[in-house]
Amino acid sequence: MIRFAHLSDIHFGGENQAAVAAAGDYVNAGGFDLTIVSGDLTRFGEKVEFEAAAEWLSGLKGPQLVTPGNHDAPYIAVAERLFVPFRRFERAIGPAWAQSYVGGGFAVRGVNTARGPQPRLNWSKGQIAAGQVREATRFFQQAPAECFRIMVCHHPLIEMIGGPMTAKVWGGEAAARALAEAKVDLVLSGHIHAPFTWPYPFGDGKTYAVGAGTLSVRERGVPPGFNVVEIEGAAIRVAALVWGGSKYEPYRTWSLDRRPI
């Protein structure tokens, strides 16, 4: 069995401190093959927030893959946001544009769908370039055939039906179609602060979007939480856990059919 912890939208500087501490303990006790964080580590992209995020990540056991979100570009330092929006992320956390991990029967590609400035008023929304999609599909094509394939990005590429907010990712539908045709198994994201799963309406219908909640105080109808993803045989199990004030408890669970290898 392969097990992942999928966390997102921790928003250091506005985090739920008890939930974040308990999530760290849960990850360290869980024996996960990989811990994935799909963006928005900080609230305003401040240096002190990145320092807190880096310290917390350093306390987690096992390998990690961390991609940035829109809140990880500085909100107040306008010049940095315009010209080097993810310099702080890269100095504190790691590569911003793309990340990858292969091992233990799975291949994971992280892609940055956040931007600094954009030619639209709401800079929090997402973008994914055709070149990013080509690089990702090439990465998955080069992975061993038996690998379980996971894409990680901050913004859901296609809108969650009935979600509490929108992502409006430029290039998102074309990217989702390409990933489905490349037989990617899961596309993990955050941004909307609510957990969900649903299949992309492309290819064989077995590429699934999976969203994690938030560990911040910015709740949108769901308590702070994160996902545990397990792959065993032909089954993909996703459990959304939420913070009950003293421990993490099940909120929603999904069982998804994995495409034949």
CATH number of the structural domain spanning residue 149: 3.60.21.10
pLDDT of residue 165: 82
Note the pTM of the prediction, 2 decimals. Answer: 0.97
**DSSP for 85-141, written as a single string:** TTHHHHHHT--SSEEEEEETTEEEEEE----SS-SSS-TTS-B--HHHHHHHHHHHH
The per-residue pLDDT for 162 is 76
Q: Are 213 and 222 in contact (CB under 8 A)?
A: yes
* Domain of residue 237, residue span: 2-257
Per-residue model confidence as pLDDT tens for the chain (261 residues): 999 999 999 999 999 999 999 999 999 999 999 999 999 999 999 999 999 999 999 999 999 999 999 999 999 999 999 999 999 999 999 999 999 999 999 999 999 999 999 999 999 999 999 999 999 999 999 999 999 999 999 999 998 777 788 889 999 999 999 999 999 999 999 999 999 999 999 999 999 999 999 999 999 999 999 999 999 999 999 999 999 999 999 999 999 999 987
Query: Are the CB atoms for 27 and 6 separated by under 8 Å?
Result: no
DSSP secondary-structure letter at 151? E
Residue type, position 228, single letter: V
Predicted local distance difference test score (pLDDT) of residue 174 = 98
Task: Give the CA distances from residue 181 to residues 56, 157, 184, in Å, rounded to whole numbers and listed in that order.
Answer: 37, 15, 8
Q: Structural domain tally of the chain?
A: 1
Tell me what pLDDT residue 167 has: 87
pLDDT of 160: 79
Q: What angle do CA 19, 22, 23 make, to 5 degrees?
A: 80
